[in-house]
Chain A
């Protein structure tokens, strides 16, 4: 199994630009999570989906952030417009919803730098 795939691995952009992060969950997993990790705030849950439906987006910092999951094998996290304080590592994770004791499987992350 290829594991959770995230792209790009690194993104450097200028303030005000639109940024799109992509995630492909593990095949057969029907729950997907987006996290943000910074030194100051640690690991924060931004949003998660069950069966492609957003369940909890209370962690999304503001309207500049949006996430979609158009199908079971793809999700995007978009920041528009981006700001320097958005610089962080963004992780995607997936798991099987029906197996409540199973772990989340994390992708390698996207390191975002906003200049």
Chain B
């Protein structure tokens, strides 16, 4: 069955430190991959997406993610975290042969220490 795993439920980093949030997916079909951010009381906002081409994609707010097919991963990174980055982050995947259904990970909650 298709699934998306975010192994880290909660991460705490200091402001200015680097960040990496992990995302793994299972299933053999071609994936389209997305990262979303959710601030408290808000809906989900798209950070970036990957569907083909360069496996390193740039997103908004200084985030980037790298697709590694061999590891079935799509980890989100940011070189220097800002206090405003504290939020919940969701990885999602659409598989080419399943068309329209998005599969979301359980989310990673990010706390930023001043």
On A, residues with C-beta under 8 Å from B are 4, 31, 33, 42-43, 45, 48, 50, 55-56, 91, 93, 95, 97, 100-101, 103-109
Contacts and interface: CB of A to CB of B under 8 A. Distances in A.
A58 B19 CA distance: 36
21 contacts: A4-B43, A33-B102, A43-B90, A43-B104, A43-B106, A45-B101, A45-B102, A48-B100, A50-B100, A55-B100, A56-B101, A91-B44, A95-B100, A100-B96, A100-B99, A103-B34, A103-B46, A107-B43, A108-B43, A109-B42, A109-B43
Contacts, number: 45
A24 B96 CA distance: 27
A78 to B, nearest CB: 21
Interface string B70-91: 0000000000000000000010
Q: Which of A42, A56, A105, A109 has the most CB of B within 10 A?
A: A42
Contacts of B32: 100-101
B102 to A, nearest CB: 6
Query: Chain A: interface secondary structure?
Result: strand
A42 B100 contact: no
Nearest to B106: A42
B102 A106 contact: no
Q: Which of A97, A103, A106, A107 has the most CB of B within 10 A?
A: A103
A50 B43 CA distance: 21
B100 A97 contact: yes
A104 B34 CA distance: 10
B63 interface: no
Given A42-B104, A103-B34, A103-B46, 18 more contacts: A4-B43, A31-B100, A33-B102, A43-B90, A43-B104, A43-B106, A43-B107, A48-B100, A48-B101, A55-B100, A93-B44, A100-B94, A100-B100, A105-B46, A106-B43, A106-B44, A108-B42, A108-B43
A91 B60 CA distance: 22
Interface string B4-34: 0000000000000000000000000000101
Q: Which of B34, B101, B102, B107 has the most CB of A within 10 A?
A: B102
Nearest to A55: B100
